[in-house]
């Protein structure tokens, strides 16, 4: 295999793995912070038990997120040194700010929160978990600023063949960032919420610690519903923004080879043939693409063949069509997973309102399985975003083929892939074992004095 | 002072901060396998760095980010050039980072395994970073395209191996001294008696390091005054650290080991300046603070950001050490 293929494989594999834990950590710590806040104001032990139980699961996910994140930071220099040379002036800035503003905050206050419960005034302890939560969100903001620059390079100029930052204000208010950041963060909240809800559903089905898990489920569902709406709106804005900023990505995500008719219809499923550049067949919803693209019942959308011609004129000879199948299907998987997430959240809130969640065993079982949904949606979303940008690393400026390190050999890359993926596999096994162990132990692990009683008649939700 | 110079100093400060801070938690991590006699004592040792090690590691991540932002050519050349050492280094940091979190959540029979991972994950990064900095100062095969094509012999020669081992020993002495400050009971006494023996190895290592620095690098030529002074400072603080440790003046002893770290790392950076990487092929190909840096606008933005944020970072980090100033006995629970 070529160095470029290996470097791309390593980047994709390590990023996807890393991005299982990032949204989980962002979402879980937000929920834990809410629980700590409830404990602070209501002073009921149950909220403390909740915060500790979910806090433990958060810490496991955070630890893996951090160590896999270190690889992400150094991989740019190790595998993509030419890219780093080309964009260092711009791309290093958000990474350095992320470390200064977010990583120090998270790492310091996570220690304070973990070990400081009995040593600090209560409000300082509460503040520490919120600072961790804010840190994770800052972290998302700056890493997405870096990513948005790759999607839509603004605030920069090209000097002597290199990207040079010339307007930090424009860079940090990149239109792509303004749609990508809220979408990703809402997705992260939904991820945390669905993990909490799914584990709670499992425990409710087993009738264990119902007090803790019914409350946890309620909090998670409220967060999930709000996030679900946020995901839908921001996702729509993002798609509309991409229509103008990266039309090729959107055309690929629609499997649209030729220009669409007016009004444009949205392809639900299609059999895409990338060789002949056509779809063998497809099922389409009339008007839907016009609505998606322009909030209107009319308007046509440019297809990939037209865009290929335009790009050839603009950037010179080359293949500017990304791997269409991957982009098309990842987009659909993301949207469908997102829709199911919203439906399940709405249903959950309904059951909670009617106070008969406990009897919905089918729904609760579905919620256990639904833990996978946000992870699928997150991964699919990134596959669409990153593969849809190919052949570029920085859209319109620098290609992936140009980016790779010239001095790293295939053997070295292969070694690192084996080492990292081996370590990641072991981590995954340990991680799942540990989380299962935490779940089995339940919330009262330290004292074990609290009875495992069913409180659901006495105490209504949200009390 | 130009912004390029300022950023060279900031990068150096971040590395010095990293070595002083994570240096002791590397040392504590190494000592868990032979200083502690039972599980309780291992827990006690890990507890001394529990609230800190993560933030200490961020100093390194920030140093990496700062190099990327301020000196992208340095970042690109160094990380691609030291590819395999970095793979080893990152693997060590992975197992170390999760080991701290996993060890008290796993079944008892696995605790020992994760403690071994803390040991390995503490010793390897110290060694690799020691090798990295010494070989980087001595010179690596960097060509006209600013790319480094290095082979095994370029990474490892007597100087860099001594550098790697010296870093391990220095971290260990620093960590054992930290244990003296942070613990009470038997382990505190044992740490002190062990450190008194290791001081001799450290002293010998520093002298070998000084001789090799003289014969194998140009640091004495480019800084005829500063290099010997810093080396002398490192030796003197090592001797003083030994004396204070023997007198049970732990805080002073710790100040001395931190100073030894400061002198050693500062010597390397001062000797390097204004270069950031030395080419062994030709001095024309050296990377410097001018030809490896970002543009003036980026440096300006980064300077403003760093000047605003650093006081807060330093403030709350110092505060966190103040919060956890109490000594740790072997009776405290490890989990929160």
pLDDT tens-digit readout, B66-79: 999 999 999 999 99
> Considering only alpha carbons, which residue of chain B is nearest residue A76?
B76
Q: Specify the length of chain A in residues.
A: 463
| Rounded Cα gap, residues B149 and B170, in angstroms | 30
| Rounded Cα gap, residues B136 and B205, in angstroms | 19
pTM: 0.89
What's the average model confidence in pLDDT over A443-459? 45
Percent of chain A with pLDDT over 70: 96
φ, ψ dihedrals at B30, nearest 5°:
-65, -40
Check whether A195 has a pLDDT greater than 90.
yes
pLDDT band, residue A176 (cuts 50/70/90): very high
Residue/partner pairs of A408-411 with CB below 8 Å, 24 or more apart: A408/A3, A408/A7, A408/A78, A408/A79, A408/A81, A408/B80, A408/B83, A409/A3, A410/A1, A410/A2, A410/A3, A410/A6
The model's pLDDT over A409-435, given as tens digits with 9 standing for 90+, comes to 999 999 999 999 999 999 999 888 888
Contact across the interface for B98 and A159, Cβ inside 8 Å: no
For A31, the token pair is: 């929920």
Which of B25, B74, B76 best probes binding to A when mutated, by most A CB atoms within 10 angstroms? Answer: B76
Q: Which residues contact A386 (CB under 8 A, 6 or more apart)?
A: A12, A15
Give the gap in angstroms from C-alpha A98 to the nearest C-alpha of chain B: 8
Distances in Å between the alpha carbon of B333 and those of B40, B46, B104?
9, 11, 10
pLDDT band, residue B11 (cuts 50/70/90): very high
pLDDT at B185: 83
Q: Which residues contact A375 (CB under 8 A, 6 or more apart)?
A: A20, A191
Q: Which residues contact A149 (CB under 8 A, 6 or more apart)?
A: A87, A90, A91, A94, A155, A156, A171, A174, A394
Check whether A454 has a pLDDT greater than 80.
no
Q: Please state whether the peptide bond connecting residue A391 to the residue before it is cis, i.e. omega within 30 degrees of 0.
A: yes
Contact across the interface for A77 and B149, Cβ inside 8 Å: no
Check whether B10 has a pLDDT greater than 90.
yes
Beta bridge partners of A31: none
Contact across the interface for A116 and B98, Cβ inside 8 Å: no
Question: What DSSP string runs through A33-71?
Answer: HHHHHHHHHH--HHHHHHHHHHHHHHHHHHHHHHHHHHH
Contact across the interface for B301 and A93, Cβ inside 8 Å: yes
Check whether A447 has a pLDDT greater than 70.
no
Give me the residue from B54, B77, B94 closest to A111, CB to CB.
B54
Contacts of B101 in chain A (CB under 8 A): 59-60, 62-63
Distances in Å between the alpha carbon of B198 and those of A126, B170, B176?
43, 9, 10
> Considering only alpha carbons, which residue of chain B is nearest residue A403?
B76
pLDDT at B144: 84
The model's pLDDT over A335-358, given as tens digits with 9 standing for 90+, comes to 999 999 999 999 999 999 888 888
What's the average model confidence in pLDDT over B10-29? 93
Check whether A457 has a pLDDT greater than 50.
no
Is residue A149 exposed (0-12), middle (13-18) or buried (19+ Cβ within 10 Å)?
buried
pLDDT band, residue A169 (cuts 50/70/90): very high
Percent of chain B with pLDDT over 70: 98
Give me the residue from B51, B73, B148 closest to A407, CB to CB.
B148
Q: Is B113 on the interface with A (CB under 8 A)?
A: no
Q: pLDDT averaged over chain A? A: 88
Cα B303 to the center of its chain, rounded Å: 24
Check whether A456 has a pLDDT greater than 70.
no
Check whether A462 has a pLDDT greater than 50.
no
Q: Is B136 on the interface with A (CB under 8 A)?
A: no
The model's pLDDT over B90-147, given as tens digits with 9 standing for 90+, comes to 999 999 988 988 887 877 778 888 889 999 999 999 999 999 999 998 888 888 888 8
| Rounded Cα gap, residues B289 and A28, in angstroms | 42
- Token pair 């002074």 in the structure block, residue: B229
pLDDT at B334: 53
Is residue A349 exposed (0-12), middle (13-18) or buried (19+ Cβ within 10 Å)?
middle
Give me the residue from A77, A109, A166 closest to B79, CB to CB.
A77
pLDDT at A1: 57
Beta bridge partners of B150: none
Alpha helix stretches (DSSP H) within B32-150: 39-49, 53-70, 72-81, 83-102, 108-138
pLDDT at A455: 37
* Residue bearing the bigger pLDDT, A136 or A397: A136
| Rounded Cα gap, residues A76 and A449, in angstroms | 51
Is residue A399 exposed (0-12), middle (13-18) or buried (19+ Cβ within 10 Å)?
middle
Contact B209, B166 (CB under 8 A): yes
Distances in Å between the alpha carbon of A419 and those of A64, A216, B88, B95, B302?
16, 38, 9, 12, 35
Check whether A437 has a pLDDT greater than 90.
no
Give the gap in angstroms from C-alpha A32 to the nearest C-alpha of chain B: 15
Report how far apart the first and last C-alpha atoms of chain A are (Å, whole number).
Answer: 60
Q: Specify the length of chain B in residues.
A: 336
Give the gap in angstroms from C-alpha B289 to the nearest C-alpha of chain A: 14
Nearest to A114 by CA among B309, B45, B100, B314: B100
pLDDT at A145: 95
Check whether B5 has a pLDDT greater than 70.
yes
Contacts of A59 in chain B (CB under 8 A): 101
| Rounded Cα gap, residues B89 and B333, in angstroms | 31
| Strand ranges inside A223-341, DSSP E | 266-273, 278-285
Contact across the interface for B83 and A98, Cβ inside 8 Å: no
For B211, the token pair is: 């001789």
Give the gap in angstroms from C-alpha A33 to the nearest C-alpha of chain B: 16
Give me the residue from B68, B95, B97 closest to A96, CB to CB.
B68
Give the gap in angstroms from C-alpha A12 to the nearest C-alpha of chain B: 17
User: Three-state SS string across A336-370, please?
Assistant: HHHHHHHHHHHHHHHHHHHCCHHHCHHHHHHHHHC
Contact across the interface for A159 and B83, Cβ inside 8 Å: no
Contact across the interface for A67 and B93, Cβ inside 8 Å: yes
pLDDT at A337: 94
Residue A398: its H or E element:
strand A398-399
Contact B24, B250 (CB under 8 A): no
Contact across the interface for A92 and B306, Cβ inside 8 Å: no
φ, ψ dihedrals at A394, nearest 5°:
-110, 115
Neighbours of A159 (CB within 10 A): 11
Nearest to B132 by CA among B278, B260, B270, B27: B278
Helices and strands (H, E) in chain A, number of each type = 16, 6
Contact B174, B22 (CB under 8 A): no
Complex ipTM tops 0.90:
no
Nearest to A60 by CA among A33, A99, A21, A14: A21
Q: Which residues contact B304 (CB under 8 A, 6 or more apart)?
A: none
């Amino acid at each position: 295999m070529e160095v470029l293929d290996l470097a791309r494989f390593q980047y994709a594999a390590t990023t996807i793995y890393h991005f299982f834990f990032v949204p989980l950590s962002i979402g879980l710590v937000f929920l834990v912070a809410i629980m700590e806040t409830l404990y602070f104001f209501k002073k009921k032990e149950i909220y403390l038990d909740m915060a500790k139980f979910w806090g433990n699961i958060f810490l496991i996910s955070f630890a893996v997120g951090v160590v896999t994140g270190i690889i992400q930071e150094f991989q740019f220099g190790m595998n993509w040194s030419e890219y780093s040379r080309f964009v260092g002036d711009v791309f290093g800035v958000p990474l350095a700010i992320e470390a200064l503003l977010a990583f120090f905050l998270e790492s310091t206050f996570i220690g304070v929160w973990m070990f400081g419960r009995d040593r600090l005034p209560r409000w300082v302890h509460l503040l520490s978990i919120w600072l961790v939560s804010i840190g994770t969100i800052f972290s998302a903001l700056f890493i997405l600023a870096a990513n948005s620059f790759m999607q839509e390079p603004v605030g920069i100029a090209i000097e002597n063949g290199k990207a040079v930052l010339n307007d930090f204000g424009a860079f940090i208010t990149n239109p792509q960032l303004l749609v990508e950041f809220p979408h990703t963060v809402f997705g992260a909240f939904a991820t945390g919420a669905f993990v909490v809800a799914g584990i709670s559903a499992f425990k409710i089905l087993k009738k264990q610690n119902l007090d803790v898990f019914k409350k946890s489920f309620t909090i998670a569902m409220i967060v999930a519903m709000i996030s679900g709406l946020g995901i839908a709106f921001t996702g729509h804005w993002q798609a509309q923004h991409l229509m103008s900023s990266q039309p090729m990505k959107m055309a690929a995500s629609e499997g649209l080879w030729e220009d669409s008719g007016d009004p444009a219809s949205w392809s639900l499923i299609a059999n895409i043939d990338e060789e002949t550049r056509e779809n063998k067949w497809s099922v389409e919803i009339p008007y839907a693409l016009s609505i998606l693209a322009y909030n209107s019942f009319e308007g046509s959308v440019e297809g990939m063949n037209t865009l290929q011609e335009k790009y050839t004129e603009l950037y010179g000879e080359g293949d500017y069509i990304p791997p269409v199948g991957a982009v098309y299907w990842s987009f659909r998987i993301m949207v469908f997973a997102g829709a199911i997430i919203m439906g399940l959240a709405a249903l959950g809130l309904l059951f909670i309102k009617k106070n008969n969640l406990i009897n919905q065993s089918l729904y609760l079982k579905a919620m256990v399985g639904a833990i996978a949904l946000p992870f699928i949606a997150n991964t699919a979303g990134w596959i669409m975003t990153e593969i849809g940008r190919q052949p570029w690393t920085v859209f319109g400026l620098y290609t992936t083929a140009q980016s790779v390190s010239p001095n790293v050999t295939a053997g070295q890359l292969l070694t690192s892939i084996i080492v990292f993926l081996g370590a990641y596999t072991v981590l995954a096994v340990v991680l799942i074992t540990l989380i299962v162990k935490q779940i089995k132990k339940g919330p009262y692990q330290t004292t074990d004095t609290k009875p495992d009683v069913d409180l659901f008649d006495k105490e209504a939700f949200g009390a | 002072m130009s912004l390029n110079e300022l950023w060279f100093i900031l990068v150096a400060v971040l590395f010095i901060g990293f070595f002083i801070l994570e240096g002791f938690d590397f040392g504590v991590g190494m000592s868990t396998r032979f200083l502690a006699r039972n599980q309780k004592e291992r827990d006690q040792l890990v507890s001394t760095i529990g609230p800190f090690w993560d933030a200490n590691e961020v100093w390194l991540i920030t140093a990496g980010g700062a190099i990327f932002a301020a000196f992208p050519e340095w970042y690109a050349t160094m990380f691609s050039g030291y590819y395999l050492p970095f793979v080893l280094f990152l693997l060590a940091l992975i197992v170390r980072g999760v080991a701290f979190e996993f060890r008290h959540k796993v079944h008892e029979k696995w605790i020992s395994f994760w403690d071994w991972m803390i040991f390995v994950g503490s010793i390897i990064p110290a060694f690799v970073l020691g090798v990295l900095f010494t070989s980087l100062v001595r010179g690596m095969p960097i060509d006209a395209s600013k790319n480094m094509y290095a082979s095994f012999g370029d990474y490892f020669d007597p100087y860099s191996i001594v550098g790697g081992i010296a870093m391990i020993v220095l971290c260990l002495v620093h960590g054992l001294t930290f244990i003296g400050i942070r613990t009470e009971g038997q382990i505190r006494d044992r740490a002190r008696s062990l450190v008194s023996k290791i001081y001799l190895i450290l002293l010998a290592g520093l002298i070998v390091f000084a001789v090799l620095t003289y014969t194998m690098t140009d640091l004495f030529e480019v800084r005829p005054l500063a290099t010997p002074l810093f080396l002398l400072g490192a030796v003197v603080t090592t001797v003083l650290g030994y004396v204070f440790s023997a007198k049970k003046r732990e805080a002073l002893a710790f100040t001395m080991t931190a100073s030894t770290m400061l002198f050693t790392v500062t010597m390397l950076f001062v000797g390097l300046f204004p270069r950031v990487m030395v080419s062994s092929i030709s001095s024309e190909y050296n990377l410097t603070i001018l030809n490896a840096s970002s543009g003036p606008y980026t440096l300006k933005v980064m300077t403003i950001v760093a000047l605003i944020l650093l006081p807060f970072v330093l403030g709350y980090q110092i505060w966190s050490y103040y919060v956890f100033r109490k000594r740790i006995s072997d009776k405290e629970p490890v989990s929160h």
